Every structure is written in C-alpha cells, then in structure tokens.
Amino acid sequence: MPIRDELDYINIVNNTAKAKIALQGAHIFDFQTKDKKRLLYLSDTAHFKKGKAIRGGIPICWPWFGANEEDNTLPNHGFARTSLWKHESTKNISDVETKVRLTLESTPETHALWPFDFLLILDFYIGEELKLVLTSKNLDRKPFSLSLALHTYFEIDDIYKTTIDGLEGKAFYNKCNNTHNNIQNENINFTQEVDRVYQEVGNDVMIRDKEQNLVIKTEGSNSIVVWNPGKELCSKMSDLSDYRTFVCVESANVLEDIVTLGVDESYTLTLTISQKIEN
C-alpha cells in the first residue's frame, strides 16, 4: 500500500477514473475521470500526518459537526476524520467502476471521546461519477444522537466567478453573523467569507464553474453546508493554501436535522457527484 508522508492510502485506477483514499479518516483526497478536470480540491499545504485532518478532499465529520456542544475541548468535527479505518475490500464491479469498503468501530479511544458502541461503513464507488455511501449503526445498549457531514472540497477555477444553484428559497443559518431563518433569494455568489447551513434541501445542488457544472445529489440528508473562508480567514490557516480555487458544499445532518438511532438501528447518507462539461 502506498504512503504519502505518514499516511497509508489506497490507489484506485480503472478504465474510467482514478482515486486516492487515505485509511486515516477514510479520506478520499483525489478523484478524476479520464476526460474531465480534477474534482476534489487539495490544499498545497495539507498535512498528511497521524492524528491530523487533511485539508481538502472529503473529510468525514462524525459523530458531531463543528464544535462539540457539551464539551468544546473535544476535537472539532468529531473523531472519524482522524481515526484509522479498516480496509475491508476493493472490488472491480466492472471495468469502469471500482468499489472500496472501509469500516470504523468503537474502541477504548473513541469511548473516551464519545461513550457509545457503533459501526461505521463507508463504501466508495469510483467510476464516471463519484459516490459515497456512509452507514452509521448503533451497536450500543441505548439510543444515541449524532450530527455529521461529508465535508466535500470542490476544486474550481475562481470563487469570484462561481455560483451555486438549487438553494433558492431555502432558509439558512448564517454562521458569519450568527443569524437564523435567513432566506436565499437567488443563486449563491461569493464576495467574502460564506459559512451557511441550508435546511430542508431535498433537491440536487449545482456548482457552476467556468467550464463545467458539478451536480451534487444527496439521499438521507436535509442539510447542505456551504463554506468558503474568504481572504482574511484563509490567511490565518496554515494548512489552507488558496481560498479562491475551492468551495465546500457539504451533505449533512446538523442543527435540527440531527439523527437519533435506537439500538441496532442504522442510518445511511449517500452522496453522488457528477461533472457536466459546459458547451
């Protein structure tokens, strides 16, 4: 298995696409089909260190999103993105699609952060589209609640020339000024830092870039998080090299959209991303 700095990763190449997935965090940090641009942004200064989150790709925020509401000394965005996952299998479904399965189970180390028994299963489908299927299962003797996100960093040409469609008319929480029940009146464009949680989103969302449209389809989620740090915040982040060439559109269950699982219950979040070239 190849290694980048301190982290082992799985290298996938088939007749349609290629991808790289770090075992730490079950973190896909590169994906590209043969006839299209690179899909995922990866910071030039991203850390590939044990116990450090990778800046770019698709981090797994689980079992909480952002700061822990009960104890803000706990890791931001939970522990799944910095835990070592187990590689269960890699299978060629066809000559144009490969499936990779990784799992994460509770340990004494996770119990110290979150006192529940669980199983996480993450399936990657590497083909003409990129598909992630994340299943959370409660193996504990009591119910638990969680929030989560597939924190996708999309590579774009220029944030100031990028728009996001599909969130018009949706209510959102604006983290930048801590206001709730804002309404998105038109498509999203970027002139400064944006950090918003859109709620009751059941439709596809599209990122319109200079030469392509990125279509984001989510099942099992009603929250979409949109984030770009802007120039000022980016300058304070040592592992983020350029705010202008990415935007995060995250499939999530946060705020009122948290998930509660009873004993032996499971919940699945599915994200499918496709690229369409502009004519």
Enzyme catalytic residues: 151, 250
Rounded distance between C-alpha atoms, residue 15 and residue 111, angstroms: 42
Distance, C-alpha 251 to centroid of its chain: 7
Q: What does 9-43 look like in DSSP terms, one character per residue?
A: EEEEE-SSEEEEEETBTTEEEEEEETTS---B-B-
Distance, C-alpha 169 to centroid of its chain: 24
| Enclosing H/E stretch for 101 | strand 97-105
Rounded distance between C-alpha atoms, residue 103 and residue 77, angstroms: 18
Cβ atoms of residues 100 and 225 within 8 Å? no
Alpha helices in the chain (DSSP H): 108-111, 230-234
Residues in the chain: 279
Rounded distance between C-alpha atoms, residue 193 and residue 255, angstroms: 21
Q: Name which of 225, 222, 231, 221 is nearest 175 in CA terms.
A: 225
Cβ atoms of residues 39 and 32 within 8 Å? yes
Cβ atoms of residues 198 and 172 within 8 Å? yes
